[in-house]
A and B are shown apart, each in its own frame.
Chain A
Amino acid sequence: MKINFKFLIIFLIILNFLSNFSFLNACAKNKKNKIVIGLDINVPPMGFKSENGEIIGFDIDLANEIFKNDYEKIIFQPIDWDSKEFELNSKKIDVIWNGLSETPDRKESMLLTNPYLKNRQVILVRKDSEINSLENLKNKIICVQKGSTGADALAEHEISGEIKQTVELENMISCLNEVETGKSDATVVDEVVAKYYLNKLGENKFKILNQELSSEFYVVAVKKENYKLKEFIESKLDEIYKSGKASEISEKWFGQDIFYRQNENSSKNSSKKNLNFLTPIFDGLKQTLLLFIIVLVLSMPLGLLLFCLQKLKFGIIIKYFINLMRGTPLLLQLLFIFYGIPYLPFVGEFLAIKSRFLAGILTFMLNYSAYFAEIFRGGFLSIDKGQYEASKLLGIGKFKLFFKILLPQAMKICMPSICNESVTLIKDTSLIFAIGVQELLSNTKNIVNSTANIMPYIAAFGIYLIICSIIVFIFKKLETKFKF
């Protein structure tokens, strides 16, 4: 075991060292060709079309500042906001930068940077209004933009039960107009938008209440595996924050500096660039290990059960099942169970397994239990028949015979084969990628593709090797437990 740990440490040091080099290499590269930024052009002041048709905005200025030194061409591509994930994944765009608020769903489907703005849903009232807090909104008319975050925030807030009326309008300008003319008492609006309008229209017309309805972070999104680009953007954001360029842009659009940075310490922590490609690898490793352990723990008893059932009358069915499982590729079984079963006539709908991971576990379990059944068969076959005869003459019951005499002997005989099967299983887990579960190998492959760096492959080699050594070590230990 000691050797294994030493090996691990040396391995990580070498990895660290080499990846430093590759990182420096990447930085030293010439200007890259182009970067495509996807955005919805109807979100002033973040990104929108000016009177003369140009795309302008706070986010546009920020993105230009970040990419201008490293990319020849920066393309702002208007997209359908609903299909933004698809646009990213199909590589039609590289980045989504457009007042994108951070949500758990988006964290799942895309890779998000650290926040650069903190946006609150605030209440805007007339400068001379007697409304000074959320409390004062009772029995007032409030105007919101249809389908906006502000509308949702108001609906979810407890105050919504006590207001007189909610007026939904098509756009923000109309809302402001309502409030200005006194038709509505207040409107809910993004703080950044409010600041923008206040800056543009003059501060003497409106005021913003201190209390907020809710708050969220604005982040930049890149394709799921594109850690390199994410880190690039984050480090550049840090850079323009420190150089003061960020506050300059913020002043231009909002009249004040609202650029958001996490406290220095945590941002430093998150910029441990050297070993960062290990993060997705370890994420994948978690899936791999989880699958491995669950399958191993479940398929061994199931295999034993299958072996025993073969002795019964309908045992022939079990034999056919084992032949089916052993005689066809695991990959095919995975695809059939996850993608195929839903198409079965009549029953498909009910049998379909929604969770990819569960479908994977089920397939692996069925497949491996077939192999384990055969391993156990071999183990029991090699027990001397004198053991059966002796216990028969001694009047030892079938149950006792099986669990106290035969099973322990069979287990001892089967141990090396079970170890071997476990080592095969840990390598086979990578097949679950075929039904879309992100595991160690697929994550590794993705990082290599997006970073053009061979180190993740080498890391994967090392990790598989270490896991295998640990498995073999554990089984060696287990074998010594059989003292007979």
Chain B
Amino acid sequence: MYAIETIGITKKFGNNIIFENLNFKAKEREITSILGPSGRGKTTLLRCLAGLENINNGTIKICGEILNNKNKDNLIKNIGFVFQNLNLFPNLTVLQNLKIVLNSSKKAQNLINKFKLNGKENEFPKNLSGGQKQRVAIARALMLEPKILIFDEPTSALDQELIQEFFKIICDLINQNRTIIIVTHDTNFAKNSSDNIFKI
């Protein structure tokens, strides 16, 4: 069973073909890494999966259902997306960043504890370190408890120690029966951490 599956999808920006007839599969409860050189279209693929870009051809299945304009809003609720630049809301504190997604103090506090953000609840994102910001972004994506989590280059801004910490986090997420898709440049990380590697 695949959490996400693409069947012969094509994406063009104008006449510029980014990928053609692409078949990508991510198995449920596994970590799938996407590897590829810069500018190859990794981010674009993720954006297509999350419904942020329209595809020119082919089909995308999420949790077995074919993505179309009607069920888009509902299907996308299965996906948590951690952007390359995180896209935290700069005008909201850590706690507010979580609670604006879902107004549940209990859930937010649990995630804050889990991601060791205690004491930072009322800080604005600009006052956090890179690793802390990333954990806020992950926590925020988890507020809606999505089945699939997509990370765009999560390790590029982290040092070795933080990469280890990140690895622990995603292992934990797998233990919660989630599916993980990670785009990365880091071949070693991909080899060591993931169940499948997809080369683009």
Binding site for B on A (CB under 8 A): 384, 386-387, 389-396, 400, 404-405, 408-409, 412, 482-484
Contacts and interface: CB of A to CB of B under 8 A. Distances in A.
A396 B81 contact: no
B24 interface: no
B91 A405 contact: yes
B124 A395 contact: no
Nearest to A392: B52
Contacts of A389: 52, 83, 87
A390 B126 contact: no
Contact of B83 (A390, A408, A482): A390
A387 B140 CA distance: 13
A389 B141 CA distance: 13
A484 B126 contact: yes
Contacts, number: 53
Contacts of B52: 389, 392-393
> What 7 A-B pairs are tightest by C-beta distance, nearest first?
A386-B87, A390-B87, A408-B91, A484-B124, A484-B91, A394-B101, A393-B81
Contact of A386 (B77, B85, B140): B85
Contact of B91 (A384, A386, A395, A409): A409
Interface string B118-132: 000000111000000
B18 interface: no
B50 interface: yes
A390 B100 CA distance: 12
A450 B12 CA distance: 76
22 contacts: A384-B87, A386-B85, A386-B87, A387-B89, A389-B87, A390-B83, A390-B87, A391-B89, A393-B50, A393-B81, A394-B141, A394-B143, A394-B144, A396-B100, A405-B89, A405-B92, A405-B100, A409-B90, A483-B124, A484-B92, A484-B124, A484-B126
Contact of B100 (A384, A392, A404, A482): A404
Contacts of B140: 394
A386 B101 contact: no
A394 B92 CA distance: 15
B83 to A, nearest CB: 6
B140 to A, nearest CB: 7
A322 B90 CA distance: 31
Contacts of A384: 87
